[in-house]
A and B are shown apart, each in its own frame.
Chain A
Amino acid sequence: MAKHTPLYDAHVGLGARMVEFADWDMPVQYTGIKDEHLAVRNAAGLFDVSHMGEIEITGPDALALVQHISTNDASTMIDGKAQYSLMLNERGTVIDDVIIYRFTQERFIIVVNASNVEKDFQWIRKHANNNVAVTNRSDDYALIAFQGPKAPEILQGLTEIDLPSIKRYHFSSGMAAGINDVIFARTGYTGEDGFELFCKPADAPALWIALLDAGKSLGVKPAGLAARDTLRIEMKFSLYGHEISEETNPYEAGLGWVVKMGDENNFYGKDLLVEVKKQGIKRRLVGFTMIDRAIPRQGYAIVKDGNTVGEVTSGTMSPSLDIPIGIGFVLPDMRAVGTRFHIDIRGKLREAEVVETPFYSSSQPKPKA
């Protein structure tokens, strides 16, 4: 049977449609994808992402281990800093994309994708020495993402912490809505401002209700996995299992910026990436919109002059823009904006065009509900 997050009863009470995702019963939608998506763009949305994993690394060699297993340069982090990073396997392809939180030089928490928790945990443990402990703390944390332009002001009403002092990709901890030991991380996966709030599982329902109540009159809504997906597609954020996987190297996925090749950063897989670069990048991830009317979906072939030249990794009708949008791998010489190709949609070739990404920018006029 699929696992329940501490907010399961709250979701059912809100009328959510539940689906199984990575062995968890998760809310896919409450009032409707478009409604929830636009609530996040215009006000704020509340996501239960407690299914994600937390792996704690502690001890004198904690920093050294984090450096070894992640491609970004963890040595540049200070206490209270978060960093997006990748873990690579022995082929130089992606085990997972993660966010690393530095509490002290001797204590880090790595937040990993729900479907990869056990794999990541075993991988990290394999690289640990006796001066560092690796613990799967996934059952000790609930995680609520509160995302949208109104999220900071609403959250500020529930805490004494000075939220403006927490900059993007930083975190702090304290009390929220009378609940102790909440971690306020200014991170997210929607392209909007907002926070990800870690708390004890037993405290999650009270925090969830406090946020909903505080935000209800301002348009805050609970939002499900489906809206989380359409929001990240509009930003062209990668999702494990779509844009990145153990078949993808960081460069083809456009994640070269997360890989720091400097002499001081000797991470696992580095020499393989040197080789990958030498051989040349064989495919590139692009964002495209449709010229013909049709919606691209994951797995559809990308075709140019009768040849299959790539594959769609994600696609949807964009709720903010009201046009079909897609992300996919194409040959390197096809990545320029304006390049046209076709998507094989149920046997019919539909024309598409590479566009600038992100598809949606929070500075553009707000989408209408």
Chain B
Amino acid sequence: MNYPDDRKYSKDHEWIMVDGKTVTVGVTEYAAEQLGDIVYVELPQHGEDFAQGETFGVLESVKAVSDCFAPISGTIAETNDSLSNSPEVINEDAHGEGWMIKINVSDPRELEELLDHDAYEEFVKEETS
């Protein structure tokens, strides 16, 4: 799998693209593949606040339910509402069209704790070995 180097990653298998004070968050290809066919996506409301590590949404495959954890503290600025009608986009394009939320970051220092693409690739390797 190929993890783009234009963004950061979390150990909960999310990618975080930074654009000024706003970050876009989605799950990685690896996470999408592990989940299998995603059939349902639950996203937060606009303006909701989340602390780092809190559950902001849910992904469901045919068999399993997985919580999505906020990789960073902040306020929801935008959600990818097209996912509610076509959740399969996450399987098809996890790193692009399958983005889930945009967050207005409240504490930019948290960004420093995230992994770069090399570190994430290493992390996945360790987890699968």
Contact = CB atoms under 8 A, between A and B. Distances in A.
Contacts of B36: 29, 32-33, 226
Contacts of B84: 293
B65 A317 contact: no
B87 to A, nearest CB: 10
A295 B40 contact: yes
Contact of B40 (A29, A34, A317): A317
B58 interface: yes
Contact of B58 (A34, A319, A346): A346
B114 to A, nearest CB: 27
> Among B37, B58, B84, which residue has the most Cβ atoms of chain A within 10 A?
B37
B40 A293 contact: yes
Contacts of A293: 40, 84
B1 interface: no
A44 interface: no
A34 B65 contact: no
Interface in B82-126: 84
Nearest to A348: B42
Given A226-B63, A316-B62, A317-B62, A295 B37 contact: no
Nearest to B34: A17
Contacts of A147: none
Interface residues of A, number: 17
Interface in A292-347: 293-295, 297, 316-317, 319, 324, 346
Nearest to B60: A295
A297 B60 CA distance: 11
A226 B39 CA distance: 15
A226 B40 contact: no
A231 B3 CA distance: 35
Contacts of A28: 63
Contacts of A187: none
Contacts, number: 36
A139 B58 CA distance: 42
A230 B61 CA distance: 12
A353 interface: no
B22 to A, nearest CB: 27
A295 B63 contact: no
B65 A297 contact: yes
A229 B60 contact: no
A29 B37 CA distance: 11
A226 B37 CA distance: 12
Interface in B52-71: 58, 60-63, 65
A101 to B, nearest CB: 31
B73 to A, nearest CB: 22
Interface in A30-74: 32-34
Interface string A178-207: 000000000000000000000000000000
Nearest to B39: A317
24 contacts: A28-B63, A29-B36, A32-B36, A33-B36, A33-B37, A33-B63, A34-B37, A34-B62, A226-B36, A226-B62, A229-B63, A230-B63, A293-B40, A293-B84, A295-B60, A295-B65, A297-B65, A316-B62, A316-B63, A317-B39, A317-B60, A317-B62, A319-B62, A346-B58
Interface of B: 36-37, 39-40, 42, 58, 60-63, 65, 84
Given A34-B37, A230-B62, 8 more contacts: A28-B63, A33-B37, A293-B40, A293-B84, A295-B40, A295-B60, A316-B62, A346-B58
